[in-house]
Amino acid sequence: MKRTYGALAVAAIAMMATPAFAQIKIGSAGPMTGQYAAFGEQLKRGATMAVEEINAAGGVNGQKLELLVGDDACDPKQATAVANKMVSDKVVFVAGHFCSGSSIPASDIYKEGKILQITPASTNPKLTDDAAAKGNTTVFRTCGRDDIQGLTVGGYILKHHKNAKVAILHDKSPYGKGVADETKKALNKGGLREAMYEAYNDTDKDFTALINKMKQAKIDIIVLGGYHTAGALIIKQSREQGLGAQMMGFDSLETAEFAQLGGAATNGVLMSFPPKAEDDPKNAALVKKFRDAKYNPEGYTLFSYAAVKAWAEAAAKAKSTDPTAVAAALRGGKYDSAVGVLEFDQKGDIKNPVYDIYVWKDGKSYPTTK
């Protein structure tokens, strides 16, 4: 899958939130350009706010932080370029990446470069499963996994639409195919066989052939394993072409850009997402700080913020930025964060992850009452 969002990310690393005498370099990495740039902005904004607060409080172990931002455009090749640049710049920690297809190849480079990685958003189980199998103990995430999302979405369909004709679509990416396959697994185990299982290209603009196929199959529910840009086009074109099927997506729909691209057709679209941290009353003052800076901390903003804060707290406990020492501190403690209490298992996954079902209405997503 090719992307043409400019030169490789070696030229796309920028300095953010840099104090005058920075002594510890950390990174934030994600799609800062391209069709998923809204999510890169979430990760960058969260990390930047965390660094500003940490530096204002004296830094980590008496040293200030410098944040380097890498643009991977959700492309695996650019992700490896970003990772290599982080190593050459002597970064000790990276909060990233967003796409699982970026986080997975980057993780091997971070291991060799002695960089601890906490992704705020990559949900494919292979990231931590493969790292554990390779003996890589310095990979973590502040989000849940696709196997939990698949159980959540599959369980919802089995409970409310047991006899529906389901089309499972995916964009061939590690993330999109991952959530689609986990949902398929949950549905099949519950006795529901999908009527369609189809792949599409995330760069496509015209989905007429796919929609016609779903119309012929009389599809009731579309399970969308993919990102918000294609999802918005698929639901909009489905409505324009007379297909009224219910769309169910996943966490990658959680950006206002989804509704902007899909318009009124996104009303009623369902998705899985963790309990929204920006709606938690305990985060009111933090959310106000973001909004005062003219940014709404939607989606994975606070997951990125929490990743940086958890790393800083663990580094303080370890009295070191050595990745092995910080990893041991992360596994050995509980971290009260903006996205809840973070407790990590041996693979680096959070314990007891939760996903809820949300519904889109008039440009925003809300928890369902079902």
Give the SS3 label for residue 221: strand
Determine the 3-state secondary structure of 134 from DSSP. Answer: coil
pLDDT at position 2 over 80: no
**The pLDDT of residue 6:** 42
User: Which of 251, 273, 295 finishes a domain?
Assistant: 273
Whether pLDDT at 41 is above 70: yes
Rg (CA), the chain: 20
**Shared domain check, 299 and 233:** no
Q: Is residue 3 part of a domain?
A: no
| Most distant CA pair in the chain, distance | 65
Same domain, 228 and 124: no
Residue 188 is encoded by which pair of tokens? Answer: 């099949």
Read off the tokens for 143.
């989000």
**Looking at residues 271-287, what average pLDDT do you find?**
97
pLDDT tens-digit readout, 142-165 = 999 999 999 999 999 999 999 999
Report the DSSP pairing between strands 65-71 and 14-16. Answer: antiparallel
Cα distance between residue 262 and residue 252, in whole Å? 14
Query: Does a structural domain hold residue 88?
Result: yes
Same domain, 227 and 315: no
Whether 140 and 155 share a structural domain: no
Rounded average pLDDT over 133-149? 97
Q: Which residues of 68-77 are buried (b: 16+ CB within 10 A; e: fewer)?
A: bbbbbbbbbe
In this model, does residue 15 exceed pLDDT 60?
no
> Is 369 a domain residue?
no
Relative to beta strand 24-30, strand 93-96 is parallel
Residue 17 in this model has a pLDDT that exceeds 60: no
Confidence of residue 11 (pLDDT cuts 50, 70, 90): very low
Q: In this structure, are 131 and 163 located in the same domain? A: no
Average pLDDT over residues 108-127: 98
- The answer to whether residues 129 and 210 belong to one domain is no
Residue at 321 is within a domain:
yes
The pLDDT-based confidence of 370 (bands split at 50, 70, 90) is: low
| In a domain? residue 23 | yes
The answer to whether residues 176 and 269 belong to one domain is: yes
Closest CA to 5 of 40, 32, 41, 29: 32
253 in the same domain as 107: no
pLDDT in tens, 52-93: 999 999 999 999 999 999 999 999 999 999 999 999 999 999
Q: Is the pLDDT of residue 321 over 80?
A: yes
pLDDT given for residue 369 in this prediction: 75
Asked whether the bond before 97 is cis by omega within 30 degrees of 0, the reply is: yes
* Per-residue pLDDT, 22: 59
Q: Considering the entire predicted model, what is its pTM?
A: 0.92
Q: Is residue 107 part of a domain?
A: yes
Q: Which CATH number does the domain housing residue 169 bear?
A: 3.40.50.2300
Q: Based on the structure, what is the number of domains in the chain? A: 2
Please give the backbone phi and psi of residue 353, each rounded to the nearest 5 degrees, phi first. Answer: -70, 150
For the residues 323-342, what does the mean pLDDT come to?
A: 97
Among 226, 247, 273, the domain boundary falls at: 273
Q: Which structure tokens are listed for 342?
A: 């973070």
User: What kind and span of H or E run contains 95?
Assistant: strand 93-96
27 shares a domain with 109: yes
Question: Is residue 69 in some structural domain?
Answer: yes
Of the three residues 273, 289, 305, the one that is the final residue of a domain is 273
How far apart are the C-alpha atoms of 150 and 183, rounded to whole Å?
4
Q: Is residue 17 domain-shared with residue 136, that is, in the same domain?
A: yes
Q: First and final CA of the chain: distance in angstroms? A: 38
What is the side-by-side order of every strand in the sheet holding 14-16? Answer: 14-16, 65-71, 24-30, 93-96, 116-119, 139-141
Are 79 and 102 spatial neighbours (Cβ–Cβ below 8 Å)? yes
Q: With contact defined as beta carbons under 8 Å apart, do 99 and 35 qualify? A: no
The answer to whether residues 79 and 176 belong to one domain is no
Residue 253 falls inside a structural domain: yes
Asked if the model's pLDDT at residue 5 lies above 70, the reply is no
Mean pLDDT of 235-246: 98
Which range marks the domain in which residue 128 is found?
A: 9-144+279-343
Q: Which secondary structure element, helix H or strand E, spans residue 150, and what is its range?
A: helix 146-160
Q: Rounded CA gap, 145 and 251, in Å?
A: 11
Together in a domain, 290 and 265: no
